[in-house]
Amino acid sequence: MRGMRYLLPGLLIAVIVACGSEDTGGTKIGQALNAANGSEVTVSGFLIVDTDGNIRLCSLLLESLPPQCGGDRIDLRGIDVRAIPNTKSVDFRPGGIRTVTWTDDLITLKGIRETDGLREAQLSP
């Protein structure tokens, strides 16, 4: 019974690591964050739009409801979330309608690196 309390955290870590391990050919978010301002970068991650409307690309998708951003993250500016295929959304009603949107699969975006994130981000083939 004592060994069981160590099993659950280990399984959770395995799930989180597995979610962020697929390689789609884009730069890792940590590398994109270190790119020079004004440079064009292609980066892969999970899209998350939180209840405040912040749009981010995250290296890990934390499997809660709603999913949350884990690991490295980069803010996205000027992206049309409706143009991203296979997004999922959930509405929360306490205090009004608040929607969270995310992707279960990694996506690859191309954009211009700026101090506050990635500008003009769009899907990269």
Q: How many CB atoms lie within 10 A of CB 117?
A: 21
pLDDT per residue, tens digit, the chain (125 aa), is 454 444 334 433 334 444 444 444 578 999 999 999 999 999 999 999 988 889 999 999 998 888 999 999 999 999 999 999 999 998 876 655 678 999 999 999 999 999 999 999 999 87
In this prediction the pTM is: 0.76
pLDDT at 86: 95
CATH classification at residue 114? 2.40.50
CA angle, residues 17, 62, 50, in degrees to nearest 5:
145
pLDDT at 24: 47
Distance CA 97, CA 75 (A): 23
Residue 66, preceding bond cis, omega within 30 degrees?
yes
| Strand-pair partners of 70 | 60
Give whole-number Cα distances, 109 to 3, 74, 75, 86, in Å.
Answer: 42, 11, 12, 15
Residue 42 structural domain: 4-123
**Number of domains present in the structure of the chain:** 1
Both tokens assigned to 67: 């999913």
Q: How many CB atoms lie within 10 A of CB 13?
A: 10
